[in-house]
Amino acid sequence: MTAAADFTHERDTGGDVLRFSGVLALAQLGDLPERLRAFEGPIAKIDLSGIEHIDTIGAWIVHRFAAEKGATIEGLDMDGAHLLSQVEQADQPVAMRPAHVGSIERIVGEIGDATVTAAKTMVGLLAFLGATTVAFGNVIRHPSKFRFNATVRRFEVVGVTALGIIGLMSFLIGIVIAQQGAVQLAQFGAQVLTINLVGRITLRELGVLMTAIMVAGRSGSSFAAQIGTMKLTEEIDAMRIIGVSPMEALVLPRVIAAVTMMPLLGFYSALVGIMGGGVMCWAVLGIPPITYVQRIREVVPITDVWVGLIKAPVFGAIIAMAGCFQGMQVEGDAEQVGTRTTAAVVQAIFLVIVLDAFFAVFFSSVGWG
């Protein structure tokens, strides 16, 4: 039979002492709160060594009484002391309305938060790149760890199923470039140079760049959502428990697939874009297809093809790692999956455009401009 909560008042050389006994739990409190509120006089110390059990309500009552009297609390075991410390930490004033912040201060604060977040994300991406490199080295040393079926499946998801939408997009972009180029060049009587414009810009820039943006939207978001859902349902933790590395089983197949398929998709996109430009030149400028093809062969240097093929695998690696990295950051609730998926797409597209600008300057400096 558990005893109801009670206390006794004693005088000691160090001051008045309140000694509690029984069970300081909600079901056993009885009229203890009312008696404590009615208690008058100073208290120097509260002794809880005689209690049998204490719960959160009991700890809150003792803490509130000690705070009012300025008394110290002692006699609790380790669990009781931890509970009381948690109650003390939670006893903080709650602001019903947030403090007013000026517009300039708020804007500066948001810029600072965004800068810190961007810096942390870049550091995390670099660490993730290192972890991916280590996983790739482990797979090379132990080929039996390579997930062949998973990698082939990613080839299909990243490459084969994307051919339709990438082809349609590239064809239409080729038409738009040819139409706009012809209109502008007609002012100088140089409509024939439309072929130069279509051929060089599609093979060198727009083919691989638009493909990267499309792959980021399709596959990068898919990687983040898939891995994020697995993280949320603790499948990744289960993989670690059974000795399977998530980097080798989940991340590496996706990175390999994106790096391998991006050059092929970029070249395919450039060819379809050239076809779209050829259709427009034939329909608007009256340039026959055979003449169009011959002109493309004359004006487009082979270095433009190499520029596109060199950039493509780098873009693929960035897209895959951004998607997998953001997926690995999911924690808490399902809303994080959507948030991280959006972040993966935005991050991948931003980094692709930044790297494309870097490549443009680099290739121009080495004479491939």
Give Cβ neighbours of residue 341 (< 8 Å, ≥ 6 apart): 221, 224, 225, 228, 326, 327
In this structure, are residues 229 and 337 in contact, taking their beta carbons and an 8 Å threshold? yes
Most confident region among 239-243, 286-290, 312-316 by mean pLDDT: 312-316
Q: What is the pLDDT of residue 262?
A: 95
CA-wise closest residue to 343 among 355, 330, 326, 331:
326
Spacing of C-alpha 332 from chain mean position: 13
Burial grade of 176 (CB within 10 A; 0-12, 13-18, 19 or more): middle
Cα–Cα distance between 273 and 262 in angstroms, integer?
16
Structure-block tokens of residue 168 = 């349609």
Of the ranges 69-73, 115-119, 305-309, 348-352, which one carries the lowest mean pLDDT score?
Answer: 69-73
Average pLDDT over residues 10-39: 81
Q: What is the pLDDT of residue 285?
A: 87
Average pLDDT over residues 222-246: 91
What is the residue whose two structure tokens read 């965004």? 114
Domain range 6-90, its CATH number among 3.40.50.2000, 3.30.750.24, 2.30.38.10, 3.90.76.10? 3.30.750.24
Strand partners, 54: 24
- Average pLDDT of the chain is 89
Q: What is the pLDDT of residue 92?
A: 75
Cα–Cα distance between 32 and 356 in angstroms, integer?
73
Q: What is the pLDDT of residue 327?
A: 93
Q: What is the pLDDT of residue 96?
A: 64
Average pLDDT over residues 33-50: 84
Average pLDDT over residues 32-53: 84
Q: CA 35, 37, 43, 49: dihedral to nearest 10 degrees?
A: 50
Three-state DSSP class for residue 47: strand
Q: Using one digit for the tens of pLDDT, what is the confidence trace for 201-226? A: 999 888 999 999 999 999 999 999 99
Cα–Cα distance between 248 and 143 in angstroms, integer?
11
Q: Using one digit for the tens of pLDDT, what is the confidence trace for 330-345? A: 987 888 999 999 999 9
Give Cβ neighbours of residue 245 (< 8 Å, ≥ 6 apart): 135, 138, 145, 239
Give the pairing of strands 72-74 and 6-12: unpaired
Average pLDDT over residues 262-271: 95
In this structure, are residues 199 and 301 in contact, taking their beta carbons and an 8 Å threshold? no
Q: What is the pLDDT of residue 224?
A: 94
pLDDT > 60? residue 320? yes
- Tell me the domain boundaries of the chain: 6-90, 126-361
Average pLDDT over residues 142-158: 90
Tell me what percent of the residues of the chain surpass a pLDDT of 90: 51
Provide the pLDDT confidence category of residue 18 given band limits of 50, 70 and 90.
confident
